[in-house]
Chain A
Amino acid sequence: MKFTARTLLAAAVAVGAAATAPAEMKTGTPAIKSVTALAFGPNGVLFVGDPQSATVFAIDTGDAKGTPAKELNVADLGGAIGSVLGTTAANVAVNDVKVNPASGTVYLAVTRGKGKDAQPLILTLDATGQAKEFKLAGVSFDSLVLPNASEKQRLEAITSLGFVEGKLIVAGLSNEEFASTLRAVAYPFKDKADPTSVEIYHGAHGKYETNAPVRTFVPYKIGGADYLMAAYTCTPLVKVPLTDLKPGTKVKGTTIAELGNRNRPLDMIVYTKGGADYVLMANSARGVMKIPTDGFAAAEPLTAPVKGGGAGGVKFETIVELKGVMQLDKLDGERALVLIANDDKTLTLKAIPLP
């Protein structure tokens, strides 16, 4: 009896998983050459940014239910991953960390080995913090080749991926021209030929404007309208209305904050606490910043240079107890997941209460 019940359950799960995979998907092994950015779409669909093959893969993880780990603190993440992959922490690079919002499972974009050995892999962490390889053989997947991304020696770095309002947003930076584009692609990938690509500009204090590739972004609603809160390679924080991202257009982001010199934003999340919304931003030199969003709608574009290397624009506080944070994601309504580079070069991944 027990045997039968288990078989039935397994069958039901299999059917359930198949039913969630969009019709466009095929079954097989996606030929991923590199993995630098991850994002989640609906029902546990994982987007994998592969700059070396100028492709974004959409993989049905079949991981659409669950609850996040109660405790999560992996003191030596590199060592834990290395152990699973038959090597040491020195041969493991963690390129991105994302939480599957459908299940709370943590996904890691990892490169194992260096040089000609470099091999892209995806790992998950279970509720006890144990790393496990997410095997790509026999998954349901679809892929989108980024048009014009690859020609002769040209490639595009995929600096950030995000999913908002049925669209996958791909921020890229070419290894040749600086005038890079932001791509907005409807998912499931239907019109593969022509994903919207938008030239992004930066109006520096109202006088000069220049091309401005996006380094990282997070979708956010301001007054009922969808925006991307984005960090340019040249400027810390701008807002870009999502409705402006139309084919062939020129979009100018509005600078809402300068967050100090010799500092670059690394990752951002948006969360709600006590009825108010905040952006939490990890930076290369100035720690983790908590920025209330209530000023975003009214924020006037910064029109005068911020003098003396300080910060300007919207107000923020620095979370002093968080140091070395490289990556951020929201684990659930109360907690964030942070990837920390320690002084001894080890990596720690842990859950912290949202500040």
Chain B
Amino acid sequence: MFLSALLAATLLNPAPATIYEPGNLVAWCVVPFDAKKRGPAERAEMLQKLGFKKFAYDWRAEHLPTFDREVIELKKRNIELTAVWFPAVMNADAKALLGVIEKHKLTPQLWVMIPEPAAKGDIERLQEAVKALTPVVEAAGKLGCRVSLYNHGGWAGEPQTLFMVSLFLKQPHVGIVYNLHHGHDKLDNLAGALGMMGSRLHAITISGMHPNGDRTGRKIEVLGEGPEDLPVLRAILASGYRGPIGVLGHTDDDAETRLADNLAGLARMRAALAGKPPTPRVPTRTGRKDAKPEFAVSADRRSISYGPRDASGPVSVTLDADARPMDGVATTDGDFARFTPRLKLIVGTPLRVTVGGVTQRLVVPADRPPATPTVVEKVGGLPDQVPENTLRFYLHFSRPMTRGEGLKHVRLANKDGDPVADAFLDLAEELWSADGRRLTLLFDPARVKRELAPREALGPILEVGRGYRLTVDAAWPDENGFPLGAAFTKDFTAVRADEEPINPLKWKVEGDAERGWVTVTFEKSLDAALADRMIRLVTADGGEVEGHGFSSGEMWMFSIKAKPLPPGEYLIRVDSRLEDPCGNRVGRAFEIDARKPADDIPAFVDVPFTVK
């Protein structure tokens, strides 16, 4: 009974580590990187000797004439041509390659780099990339070959770009080959990157990975020598990926020696993944000559490792300040001693790490700065002319920011440069949007509302007729702790208070029933965020018209889902809680005279219009 249950469990969960077994490995970056300059027959023989069953063909111009020979030699030794490096345009080289592929009735993956587009905007870049790659994608489809987009740094190598371009090409035979040695900057969230690319991954190539290897002259290490290697293998397994795994030559050593070093390192890691005790290490023949075991904080700041070396006791970690032991788990992880703290390490924390009686001070290093710095994209609700009783405005950022810092970095000054003190309401908790990219700042309401002591004593914050400058300084850290790319300023002039309720009956409604859009122009600037949520299009009997609404603060634009909009009576339905930047609501000014009877404002106000 027990045995059969065990058997069933095994059958249901076949050991996924088989993706790292020799039969699933693809030799890659071999042809032009081999110090021995092997020809097709010698190369195929070398691959067979090392136990490879799969091969990805890399080439330079001088190799193309022997591609046909290459295929024949591989076939003879029963080695699959899994992939071919391929141009991004259908040039003569591309045609020559496809000629050989067609002749031998093969269907290798075509590994293609996305050409770095000239356009600036993200959508334009995607469109340009799709246009450039379409001929290759079509040609590959005719032969039953898959096209695999190859990451090689830059915008075109971002997992999100690879995914979006593969999606926009709209062909089921387009996917991605993801190379770890071009992805050091994604090690902090490899699971996220793999999850995004998901089922579109045709192949993954692995390499020895140090967290900052690309910046410290060790971009391509021997497999197993990098502190990130076992975590990388686990992340690939956890992602559910079950396709081929590439192993690199690439280093201009004798390709056989280099590939053998990598296979040996991978074998040791397979043993570690299977929970087997490590055997004594054998020095690599092609690895760094000066390699010494060292401490490293993982790119995701989830662990500290020491190695590679024959295991000799666990790593322990204490805080430098008070020598308090850190809460966590010490393990032996292949050729690395690893300490995994219960809570993620924080940048800048001074630590003392100890292994085998040796203690070293270590400060948790900063993350890698993003390729483009975070910036203030715009300020919402603060036009050139600002009513003196304005209550709030919005700062929009290109990325989420560090919270709790806002009032340190935002200043208001008048035209002469004199600071306006205590202009903004200091709440213990800042008012961030759900996506963390928009901060609401409130002018101190005690100096906006009339007859309150602070306004009586100090006067209003904004004085009619005066000029002001709002400054956001660049020192404000984004969510990764990096400062803004530049300071941001906005100049404006204070004008007389706006004490008018919002009156939707003054709105102008226009539209194009055929094209399925409706535009509403407000009688004055309203709060864009609220207008976004609080205006709807309904039929005369109150039925919702489906579509997408958006407000700039000056207008509300609505695009109808099912075009055209049939003739009939419609209503722009406005939630009466809608406010302008001064807090005036529909039918009710921000400040109302309490001695007069208040108007009864319904929950919604409707603006009727007719489509003929």
B326 touches A (CB below 8 Å):
yes
B482 to chain A, nearest CB (A): 9
A211 to chain B, nearest CB (A): 7
A206 touches B (CB below 8 Å):
yes
| B-side contacts of A88, CB under 8 Å | 319, 321, 348-350
Contact between chains at A235 and B446 (CB < 8 Å)? yes
Closest to B528 in A: A176
A312 touches B (CB below 8 Å):
yes
B456 touches A (CB below 8 Å):
yes
Contact between chains at B453 and A209 (CB < 8 Å)? no
Please tell me which stretch of A62-70, A115-123, A314-322 contacts chain B, meaning at least 4 of its Cβ atoms lie within 8 angstroms of it: A115-123
**Chain B, 337-354, contact with A by CB distance < 8 Å: what is the 0/1 string?**
000011111111110000
Please tell me which stretch of B113-121, B125-133, B172-180, B472-480 contacts chain A, meaning at least 4 of its Cβ atoms lie within 8 angstroms of it: B472-480
A272 touches B (CB below 8 Å):
no
CA distance A305 to B446 in the complex (A): 12
Q: A86-B327, A178-B392, A261-B458 are in contact. Are A153 and B435 (CB under 8 A)?
A: yes
Contact between chains at A91 and B477 (CB < 8 Å)? no
A266 touches B (CB below 8 Å):
yes
Please tell me which stretch of B559-567, B590-598, B604-612 contacts chain A, meaning at least 4 of its Cβ atoms lie within 8 angstroms of it: B590-598
Contact between chains at A179 and B449 (CB < 8 Å)? no
**Chain B, 228-268, contact with A by CB distance < 8 Å: what is the 0/1 string?**
00000000000000000000000000000000000000000
Within 8 A of B (CB), among A20-45: 36
> Interface size bucket, A side?
35 or more
A208 touches B (CB below 8 Å):
yes
B159 touches A (CB below 8 Å):
no
| A-side contacts of B328, CB under 8 Å | 86
| A-side contacts of B451, CB under 8 Å | 204-205, 207-208, 305
Contact between chains at B591 and A154 (CB < 8 Å)? no
| A-side contacts of B327, CB under 8 Å | 86
A331 touches B (CB below 8 Å):
no
**Chain A, 160-176, contact with B by CB distance < 8 Å: what is the 0/1 string?**
00000000000001111
Contact between chains at B579 and A112 (CB < 8 Å)? no
Within 8 A of B (CB), among A107-163: 112-119, 150-155, 157-159
B509 touches A (CB below 8 Å):
no
CA distance A118 to B479 in the complex (A): 9
Within 8 A of A (CB), among B386-443: 391-392, 400-404, 421-422, 425-435, 438, 440, 442
Contact between chains at B452 and A234 (CB < 8 Å)? yes
Q: A83-B324, A114-B403, A115-B477 are in contact. Are A153 and B433 (CB under 8 A)?
A: yes
Within 8 A of B (CB), among A197-215: 202-212, 215
CA distance A205 to B449 in the complex (A): 11
B290 touches A (CB below 8 Å):
no
| A-side contacts of B458, CB under 8 Å | 261-262, 309
| A-side contacts of B440, CB under 8 Å | 175-176
Contact between chains at A86 and B392 (CB < 8 Å)? no
CA distance A284 to B444 in the complex (A): 14
CA distance A8 to B479 in the complex (A): 50
A79 touches B (CB below 8 Å):
yes
CA distance A307 to B452 in the complex (A): 10
| B-side contacts of A299, CB under 8 Å | none
A10 touches B (CB below 8 Å):
no
| A-side contacts of B324, CB under 8 Å | 83-84
A51 touches B (CB below 8 Å):
yes
CA distance A84 to B577 in the complex (A): 46
Contact between chains at A208 and B594 (CB < 8 Å)? yes
CA distance A240 to B391 in the complex (A): 24
A274 touches B (CB below 8 Å):
no
Contact between chains at B432 and A155 (CB < 8 Å)? yes
- Residue from A52, A86, A118, A158 with most neighbouring chain B CB atoms (10 Å): A86
Contact between chains at B343 and A209 (CB < 8 Å)? no
| A-side contacts of B591, CB under 8 Å | 204, 208-210
Q: B579's contact among A113, A153, A158, A177, by CB below 8 Å, is which?
A: A177
B421 to chain A, nearest CB (A): 8
Contact between chains at B453 and A312 (CB < 8 Å)? yes
CA distance A244 to B350 in the complex (A): 54
Contact between chains at B431 and A152 (CB < 8 Å)? no
A95 touches B (CB below 8 Å):
yes
Closest to A311 in B: B453
| B-side contacts of A312, CB under 8 Å | 453
| A-side contacts of B530, CB under 8 Å | 176-177
B139 touches A (CB below 8 Å):
no
Contact between chains at A175 and B450 (CB < 8 Å)? no
CA distance A104 to B434 in the complex (A): 36
CA distance A261 to B457 in the complex (A): 8
Contact between chains at A86 and B326 (CB < 8 Å)? yes
B322 touches A (CB below 8 Å):
yes
Contact between chains at A210 and B595 (CB < 8 Å)? no
Contact between chains at B594 and A206 (CB < 8 Å)? yes
Contact between chains at A176 and B343 (CB < 8 Å)? no
CA distance A312 to B451 in the complex (A): 14
A186 touches B (CB below 8 Å):
no
Contact between chains at A86 and B343 (CB < 8 Å)? yes
| A-side contacts of B343, CB under 8 Å | 85-86, 112, 119
CA distance A205 to B591 in the complex (A): 12
Closest to A93 in B: B404
A236 to chain B, nearest CB (A): 9
Within 8 A of A (CB), among B555-608: 577, 579, 583, 585, 590-595
Within 8 A of B (CB), among A285-341: 305-309, 312
A55 to chain B, nearest CB (A): 13
CA distance A212 to B446 in the complex (A): 10
- Residue from B349, B430, B478, B527 with most neighbouring chain A CB atoms (10 Å): B349
Q: B400's contact among A90, A115, A203, by CB below 8 Å, is which?
A: A115
CA distance A67 to B357 in the complex (A): 44
Contact between chains at B452 and A176 (CB < 8 Å)? no
CA distance A307 to B348 in the complex (A): 49
A60 touches B (CB below 8 Å):
no
CA distance A262 to B455 in the complex (A): 10
CA distance A212 to B478 in the complex (A): 32
- Residue from A79, A91, A114, A154 with most neighbouring chain B CB atoms (10 Å): A114
- Going nearest first, the 4 A-B pairs with the smallest beta carbon separation are A309-B457, A115-B479, A153-B433, A175-B431
Q: Write the residues of chain B forming the contact surface with A, with a CB cutoff of 8 angstroms.
A: 319, 321-322, 324, 326-328, 341-350, 391-392, 400-404, 421-422, 425-435, 438, 440, 442, 444-446, 449-454, 456-458, 477-481, 527, 529-530, 532-533, 577, 579, 583, 585, 590-595
Cross-chain pairs A/B with CB under 8 angstroms, 18 sampled: A82-B321, A91-B348, A112-B346, A114-B402, A116-B400, A117-B347, A150-B434, A153-B434, A155-B434, A159-B428, A176-B527, A176-B529, A179-B583, A206-B594, A209-B592, A210-B592, A211-B590, A262-B454
Q: Write the residues of chain A forming the contact surface with B, with a CB cutoff of 8 angstroms.
A: 36, 51-52, 79, 82-88, 90-91, 93, 95, 112-119, 150-155, 157-159, 173-179, 202-212, 215, 233-235, 258, 261-262, 264, 266, 284, 305-309, 312
